[in-house]
Amino acid sequence: MAGKDLSVLQLYCENDMRLLKKISRSIFMRFNESLTKADHDDFYSIANMTLWQAYNAYDPDTGISFDGFLRSCLQRKFKTELTHRHRQKRILNQFAVSLDAVNDKEEECNLLDFIASDFDTFEEVARRQENGQYQDKLQQYISKLSNIQVSILNLLVDGYKSNEIQKILEISATEYADNMQFMRSYENVKILF
């Protein structure tokens, strides 16, 4: 290490590390990832560490130029970083739960049953309907629903809870959740407003 020429590093470090940033940018642009400014900063930090590691690991007797060796080291580090980030996203997505998802216990209720909210789409439409508004919109909305979904809607308007509706209509919690998800979807509800 003491016998190595530091001028190789100076080439990459001068002008605010312009050459190292240029090489790094060309590599991670090929990965076709949409990177934010913070991501670019992260990758430049990785490039700085990799430059030093590559300098310490480089053997000029291999016949490979330092530039080529550095590029291959940067590509490996960037791929490893992207793989790590995607793995973290997959792990986090495993813990994501839909509000319409039914719990595994015998109560067969979903998170929406426990979240306090002053707004209920069906009550809001019923309130506006009493004032004589939106009759056509309500008919459009109902026409998109299946028979079971119309039955669910009627029972909800009458004040029944999800587990009561499931018993009355003799449907599973999953069927109830799937129907509710369809009924609450933006594509359907946007007709009402």
Residue for token pair 């090929």 = 30
Mean pLDDT of 107-115: 64
The pTM of this model reads 0.43
Decide: 149 and 182 in contact? Cβ < 8 Å: yes
Span 170-191, pLDDT tens digits: 998 888 888 888 888 777 677 6
- What span, in angstroms and rounded, lies between the C-alpha atoms of 189 and 162? 19
Decide: 122 and 156 in contact? Cβ < 8 Å: yes
Q: Which amino acid is at 24?
A: S
Decide: 12 and 20 in contact? Cβ < 8 Å: yes
* CB neighbour burial string for 48-63, b if at least 16 within 10 angstroms, e if fewer: bebbeebbeebeeeee
Q: Quote the tokens at residue 173.
A: 């919690």
Mean pLDDT of the chain, nearest integer? 76
118 pLDDT band (50/70/90 cuts)?
Answer: low
Which stretch of 15-19, 87-91, 165-169, 183-187 has the lowest confidence by average pLDDT? 87-91
Q: Which amino acid is at 133?
A: Q
Q: Percent of the chain having pLDDT more than 90?
A: 4
Output the CA–CA distances (angstroms, integers) from residue 163 to 111, 153, 182, in the order listed.
Answer: 13, 14, 18
pLDDT at 1 (0 to 100): 40
Query: Where do the domains of the chain lie?
Result: 7-94, 111-192
Q: Examine the pLDDT at 2 and tell me if it is beyond 60.
A: no
Q: Examine the pLDDT at 25 and tell me if it is beyond 50.
A: yes
Which stretch of 4-8, 72-76, 135-139, 145-149 has the lowest confidence by average pLDDT? 4-8
Q: Examine the pLDDT at 66 and tell me if it is beyond 70.
A: yes
Residue for token pair 């050459």 = 19
pLDDT at 156 (0 to 100): 86
